Every structure is written in structure tokens, then in C-alpha cells.
Structure 1
Amino acid sequence: MSGFTHITVGTNDIERSRRFYDAVLATLGWTRLLDLEDNASMWGDGEPCFMVTRPRNGQPATVGNGVTISFAAPNKAAVRVFHETALTLGAPDEGAVGPRPWAPGALAAYTRDPDGSKLDVYGVAS
């Protein structure tokens, strides 16, 4: 059993976030599994593990400074496709696809979602 049940990020525009995450998470084999009306959605590979939601307190969603959500890619090709898909959708390049010194043999890339949450995608297999 993993150490968490799911990760949640806030959004100020649920439809924009749904379009973004439908596209980028599909590159990892994930699908949107659940919509909670106009408030939230959850994605995963068989079971929900990543959620985007409007903040419950009614305040605007903000970015966690220093927070990065890292998705495991099934292979290095998926790292490239995830990153390219995000950039095509207007996301910024926060770290080009390439090796990282802290993870020999791995390939990683960084971007941000439409609300500014920092995302990493990481793959080891060829």
C-alpha cells in the first residue's frame, strides 16, 4: 500500500483543468474517472489518485510555493509526449526533457498546469 490515497491541486477554472489533465494524463495511460459536478474531477489508472478541485473554502486557488507533483511515466517516450502535449496546450517549459543528475538513467521534464501548479513527469524504462 502506498503512503497516500490521492493528490489534490486547486483550480479556478474546472473546465480548463479538465481539458488540460485529460490530454496530458492520457499520455501516461490515465483517464478521468470521476466528476464531482462542476467542482472537481479525479484521474487515475483504474482507481482515482489525482484530483483537481475548486477550493472548498470559496477562495481562489493558489500555487504551493516549492510544491512539485511528479507523475511516473511508463517509459521515456511517454515523458516526451507528456511534455510536448502540455506545451501544445500552452503550458510553460519549466525544465526541458532530459536526464537529471539525481536519477541515473532516468528522463524527466517539468511544466505547470493552467493554474500554475508545478508538474514533473519522470520515466526510467526505454
Structure 2
Amino acid sequence: MNKFSHIDLRVNNMENVLPFYEKLLPELGFTRTYHSANWKVFAADGELPSVPYFAITEEADHKPNGNLIGFWAKDRAEVDRIAKLVKEFGGNISGGPQLFPISPTYYAVYFADPCGNKYEMVHRLN
């Protein structure tokens, strides 16, 4: 059983970041939406609450910090594709895509959403 359930993410300006997430999250498998006035929810295929989901809410005084959310990629090509899309969608690349000295096969891109929340897309063997 995959123990992952969900992410509750704060952003400091929903209007600025929502277009980024509306484009990026479906590329990461969060294809269903369950939006309300205060939360924008993107879920994986299937029915809530049994599928992973990514929920975003606005908190005007939110300040991004050193926390990072990581996603698995099926191969290096997917890392490269997501890096290209992040740039197109208004995100910021801070590293990669490239091999990192975490392990001999650790290929990743590090990026941030338009308000500075940090992410990683990684592929690695063993």
C-alpha cells in the first residue's frame, strides 16, 4: 500500500499560481478537480478519498521556505519534459535537469512555483 494521501499547500496569491498548477498538476497525474471557494483540489484518477490529491489554498502572508515536494519520474525523458513545461508554465528552475551526486543514477530537476514553493522531479535506478 502506498501510504501517500495528500498535500495541503499554501500559496500567497492564488490568482498568480493557479494557472501554473492547472497546467502542471495534470501532467503529474492529478487529472480530476474538486474545487471549492477556499480550496483548489487536484486528484489522481479514481474517487476521493482513496486517491492521492493535491490541495491548494491561499494564505496571503505565506512565505515559501526550505520544504520541498518530490515527484517520481518514470525515466529521464519525463524529467526533461517536466522541466520544459515548468518553464513554459511560469515556474522557475533552480537546478537541472541533470545527474546529481546523490547517487550515480539520480537525475532530477529542481523548480519552484510562481510564489516560490519548491519541488523536485526525479528519476533514479536502485
TM-score under structure 2 length normalisation: 0.79
Task: Tell me the secondary structure at the aligned position of residue 103 of structure 2.
Answer: coil
Query: Could you list the per-position Cα deviations for residues 7-46 of structure 1 after superposition, in whole angstroms to 9, with x for gaps in the alignment?
Result: 2221133243221112222333332421122x22122322
Alpha-carbon RMSD across the aligned residues, in angstroms, is: 2.1
Q: How does 1:14-93 map to 2 (within 5 A)?
A: 14-37=14-37, 39-46=38-45, 47-55=51-59, 59-63=60-64, 65-93=65-93
Q: Is the 8 A contact 1:109 1:120 kept in 2?
A: yes
Quick one: structure 1 residues 115 and 100, their matched pair in 2 at CA, closer, same or farther if it must change by over 3 Å?
same
Taking every aligned residue pair, what percent have the same amino acid on both sides?
A: 28
| 1:103 to partner: Cα distance | 3.2
Quick one: structure 1 residues 36 and 109, their matched pair in 2 at CA, closer, same or farther if it must change by over 3 Å?
same
Alignment-mate amino acid for residue 41 of structure 1: K
Number of residues paired by the alignment? 120
Structure 2 portions without partners, runs of 5+:
46-50
| 1:118 to partner: Cα distance | 0.8
In the alignment, the residues of structure 2 paired with residue 26 and residue 4 of structure 1 have an alpha-carbon distance, to the nearest angstrom, of 18
Runs of 4+ in structure 1 deviating by more than 3 angstroms, as ranges, are: 1-4
Q: Is the 8 A contact 1:87 1:93 kept in 2?
A: yes
| 1:85 to partner: Cα distance | 1.0
In the alignment, the residues of structure 1 paired with residue 43 and residue 74 of structure 2 have an alpha-carbon distance, to the nearest angstrom, of 14
Q: Is the 8 A contact 1:27 1:81 kept in 2?
A: no
Structure 1 portions without partners, runs of 5+:
none
In the alignment, the residues of structure 2 paired with residue 6 and residue 86 of structure 1 have an alpha-carbon distance, to the nearest angstrom, of 21
Alignment-mate amino acid for residue 25 of structure 1: L
Query: Could you list the per-position Cα deviations for residues 42-78 of structure 1 after superposition, in whole angstroms to 9, with x for gaps in the alignment?
Result: 22322342221123xxx52221x22111111232212
